[in-house]
Chains A and B, each alone.
Chain A
Amino acid sequence: MDSKNNHPVPVMALIEMARQAKALNDPYVQRTLMALAVTNNPGLASALQMKLGLRAVIEMLDPFPFDAPEEEEFA
């Protein structure tokens, strides 16, 4: 295995990614994060950061395009 891939991900970065994943409420990111927590793999971390970064930009440029009705509206 490449020695570079054995380098652990800083804990603070993991916490930050967990916070962002939770805010995005994205199951894909959360699953990746779980895999990351198990393997502590910087390759995965890098892919995840890229996805989070892209999602953050997309969310900023293109807000969630759906209604979000409240419970009272269904009654």
Chain B
Amino acid sequence: MLNLFDTHVLLGKVKGSGAPAWYPMTELTKHALFLGATGYGKTTLLYWILSQLFGKVGVWMFDRKEDFRHLLRLFPDKLLVFNLAEDFRCNPLEPPPYVKPARWLEIFVDMFCRVNNLLDGSKSMLLTTMAELYERYKVYAGSRNYPSFLELCEALKKLELARGSRSTGFRDSLVTRLDSYIATNKRLYDCCAGFDIEGLIAKSVVFELTGLIEFQANFWINLLLYWVFAYRIAKKERGNRLLNLVVFDEAKSVFSPFENPALGFPPITYMVSMLREFCVGIIASDQMAQLSNAIFANSQLKVLWPLGSGEDRLKAARAMGLSAEQAAYTQSLGLGEAIVSHQRIGKIFVLQIPKFPLE
């Protein structure tokens, strides 16, 4: 067996030839998509990949089910675990280092409005209110004192608007959303200066989302994803190498198939295609294949386990270019088996994934 551990990760064994299936780390910057119903082995494959990357690159894992904290038993010195609802501190209004405040303002407002399905009127109001707060706090002049989420909400409430006007409706929509964030977890949103996120970028960090309501979990995944994307792009570290890997399940929370045309193309669409130049890779997984085309088009490695519905199987099979026979085989996969579309070598094969030591 070849020893490629310095440059590759071992995925498992090829069914038929018995060969070890390697994947180059640098190719992870071209992203990976894992699709399969719960219980078929997505997490097992993730465990194998992550355990080979800890200490080599920064790995951020967004975890809704407390799956990844178990890795602490094997890697107690290499892994940090935060529960966002309990012990994490971050001010979403603080731009990442190297990112201009005006750029972060655009990114944050766009992301917030998408996650909360707010349209143009609210978006414009949020943008101007945040810009005024940045002015007041002298953020544009270089101050490192930032308004908090709570202060943003208060500033919106204090806007003087004509009673019954459309602007009042926009403001009410925004305040309702912001209030619901703050009401459910005031400590998390009443934060002017949070942790040193830049200090976490080269580390292996689990961000647990348990304890957050679904819309808040989606908000934090999107926020921290945009944070790392904006940071890497602004830092302009280009090259053919992997510096950061971001892992999350429920891929639909970021790559939603239901984009609102009124909001235009989401920045994530072009960010994902740009990321490979900036050394950031994504592994996104989901139980369903109903996702935005951005992730299908931009994932070089696709791994498929049995799926729950015929519609999902059809979409996944099309996206992976499976033949009818290959697609039919999906439901005959044995335990620990998955179909892999490995674009670098241009082959589709069945991967056998051994049990992970924690299982």
Interface residues of A (CB under 8 A from B): 25-28, 62, 64-75
Q: Are B19 and A74 in contact (CB under 8 A)?
A: yes
Task: Select the residue from A28, A64, A70, A74 with max chain B CB neighbours within 10 A.
Answer: A74
Q: Are A67 and B347 in contact (CB under 8 A)?
A: yes
What residues of A have a CB within 8 angstroms of the CB of B16 in the complex? 64, 66-68
Task: With CB as the reference atom, state the residue of chain A lying closest to B1.
Answer: A71
Q: Are A66 and B329 in contact (CB under 8 A)?
A: yes
Offer 13 A-B interface pairs, CB within 8 angstroms, sorted by A: A27-B334, A66-B326, A66-B329, A66-B348, A67-B347, A68-B15, A69-B14, A71-B22, A73-B345, A74-B4, A74-B21, A75-B4, A75-B22
Task: With CB as the reference atom, state the residue of chain A lying closest to B352.
Answer: A25
Alpha-carbon separation in the docked complex, A24 to B327 (Å):
20
What residues of B have a CB within 8 angstroms of the CB of A72 in the complex? 2
For B41-66 the 0/1 string (1 means CB < 8 A from A) is: 00000000000000000000000000
Q: Are A26 and B334 in contact (CB under 8 A)?
A: yes
Alpha-carbon separation in the docked complex, A12 to B13 (Å):
32
Nearest-neighbour CB distance to chain A for B340, whole angstroms, equals 9
What residues of B have a CB within 8 angstroms of the CB of A27 in the complex? 334-337
Alpha-carbon separation in the docked complex, A7 to B21 (Å):
45
The 10 closest A-B pairs by CB, nearest first: A68-B16, A65-B325, A74-B22, A68-B17, A27-B334, A71-B19, A67-B347, A67-B349, A65-B326, A70-B19
Alpha-carbon separation in the docked complex, A73 to B22 (Å):
9
Alpha-carbon separation in the docked complex, A33 to B186 (Å):
57
* CB under 8 Å from chain A, chain B span 1-36: 1-2, 4, 8, 14-17, 19-23
Nearest-neighbour CB distance to chain A for B116, whole angstroms, equals 43
Interface residues of B (CB under 8 A from A): 1-2, 4, 8, 14-17, 19-23, 323, 325-326, 329, 334-337, 339, 342, 345, 347-350
Q: Are A73 and B347 in contact (CB under 8 A)?
A: yes
What residues of B have a CB within 8 angstroms of the CB of A67 in the complex? 16, 347-349
What residues of A have a CB within 8 angstroms of the CB of B17 in the complex? 68-70
Task: With CB as the reference atom, state the residue of chain A lying closest to B23.
Answer: A74
Alpha-carbon separation in the docked complex, A69 to B329 (Å):
18
The tally of CB-CB contacts under 8 A between chains A and B is: 63
- CB within 8 Å for A69 and B347 given contacts A25-B15, A74-B8, A74-B20: yes
Nearest-neighbour CB distance to chain B for A24, whole angstroms, equals 10
What residues of B have a CB within 8 angstroms of the CB of A70 in the complex? 17, 19
Nearest-neighbour CB distance to chain A for B223, whole angstroms, equals 36
- CB within 8 Å for A66 and B1 given contacts A28-B334, A74-B22: no
Alpha-carbon separation in the docked complex, A72 to B347 (Å):
13
What residues of B have a CB within 8 angstroms of the CB of A65 in the complex? 323, 325-326, 329
Alpha-carbon separation in the docked complex, A75 to B20 (Å):
10
What residues of A have a CB within 8 angstroms of the CB of B325 in the complex? 62, 65
- Which of B2, B323, B334, B349 lies in contact with A68, CB distance below 8 A? B349
Nearest-neighbour CB distance to chain B for A57, whole angstroms, equals 14
What residues of B have a CB within 8 angstroms of the CB of A28 in the complex? 334
Alpha-carbon separation in the docked complex, A18 to B24 (Å):
38
Alpha-carbon separation in the docked complex, A62 to B326 (Å):
11
Q: Are A68 and B14 in contact (CB under 8 A)?
A: yes
What residues of A have a CB within 8 angstroms of the CB of B2 in the complex? 71-72, 75
Nearest-neighbour CB distance to chain B for A52, whole angstroms, equals 15
- Which of A64, A66, A71 lies in contact with B20, CB distance below 8 A? A71
- CB within 8 Å for A69 and B345 given contacts A25-B15, A74-B8: yes
Alpha-carbon separation in the docked complex, A68 to B347 (Å):
8
What residues of A have a CB within 8 angstroms of the CB of B334 in the complex? 26-28
Task: With CB as the reference atom, state the residue of chain B lying closest to A72.
Answer: B2
Given contacts A62-B325, A69-B17, A74-B4, 5 further A-B contacts (CB under 8 A): A25-B15, A69-B21, A69-B347, A69-B349, A75-B2
Nearest-neighbour CB distance to chain B for A64, whole angstroms, equals 6
Alpha-carbon separation in the docked complex, A34 to B165 (Å):
73
Alpha-carbon separation in the docked complex, A74 to B25 (Å):
12
